[in-house]
Amino acid sequence: MIRWKQSRAWNWYRRHRWLCGFNYIPSNAISYTEMWMGYSFDPNRINAELALAERTGFNCLRVVLPYIVWEHEPKLFKQRLSKFLSLCEKHKIKVMFTLFDDCVFGSISNPVFARQPAVVKGWYANGWTPSPGHRMVRDRTQWPRLESYVRDIIGTFKNDQRVLCWDLYNEPTNGGVGDVSIGLVEEVFRWARRVDPAQPLTIAIWNSNAGLNNVVGRYSDIITFHNYGNAKALLAHIESLKRYNRPIICTEWLNRSRGSLVKSCLPVFQSHNVGCMHWGLVNGKTQTHLPWGHRPGDPEPKLWQHDLYRPDFTPYDSNELDLFHDLIKENRK
């Protein structure tokens, strides 16, 4: 499996201004499954929220795609992806698509193609769904179906300039599924590489799993990572990743209660020319103002965890928005 040469990766990165964006899920969706379902896909809401992102200055976003929606209605799903890309282009935002995700925050380890559960107030992301779901990850006889999904989605948008990058798998081994994901990670890289998209392929380094990180570091065209620590921990992480001599983008950060703060971390990304996408734009049904693991009856946090805006589009902290706007503006070509 041949990945991009370092020179090609750097040429790709230098064509873009400093990449600064966010992980996006609309405020009306309890999960990415719900975001892309026909009953809840809401272009008007998405347009309004992306307009807010454009005014803030953001130039990219990351969004997870649910295998289960593609499985049941592939044509309609791709039409929604095209509509979403058009809205992002309207607001001058490039898109990083993520094809798989092992995370589970509630009790759903295998998504269903149906109306998604209601919000349980006080439960962080109670309706979150992985993609494709842990049952399929563990069952290798199902992987040919996953290959068809990868080849169809990437093949459809492989030359689309609105697509920034392919983040093939979010946090493999998370959610209790374990190291069985590592074998799927290798296969997903192979499937995607055969499609030969114009955009780079990557999977983020997100924990200390040596086996997983060896695969990810060996096959990724650009280096991506997750870091929810303070500025000192973030800087140490960045320095450790420079050994790959490839462009670096942090595709998840911002956890105020753990010291991952806009005022201290954003300047680190900018000064080291590391792209960044924090978690959350507008707070909504996922309740990501709450800390991980929060349950009904737990005390309210002193600091909200993710997100920049409340559901009514008022900012949590206007000083954070000013810093985003100013640092992004400094790096425009």
Average pLDDT over residues 74-92: 99
pLDDT of 89 strictly over 70: yes
Measured between alpha carbons, how far is 286 from 125 in angstroms, rounded to an integer? 4
- Specify the pLDDT at position 332: 66
Rounded Cα–Cα distance for residues 181 and 40 (Å): 30
As a whole number of angstroms, the distance between CA 62 and CA 164 comes to: 9
Return the pLDDT at 117. Answer: 96
pLDDT digits (tens, 9 = 90+) for 308-329: 999 999 999 999 999 999 999 9
* Residue 23 β-bridge partners: 62, 279
- Give me the domains of the chain, ranges plus CATH numbers: 6-330 (3.20.20.80)
| pLDDT of the residue at 49 | 99
Q: Are 167 and 185 in contact (CB under 8 A)?
A: no
In sequence order, which residues have a C-beta less than 8 Å from that of residue 84 and are 6 or more positions away? 43, 46, 63, 95
Answer whether residue 333 shows pLDDT above 60: no
CA distance 26 to 40: 10
The CA distance from 214 to 211, in Å, is 5
Contacts (Cβ under 8 Å, ≥6 apart) of 299: none
Chain centroid to Cα 181, Å, comes to 18
Q: What is the pTM of this model?
A: 0.97
Please write the tens of the pLDDT for every residue from 98-121: 999 999 998 899 999 999 999 999
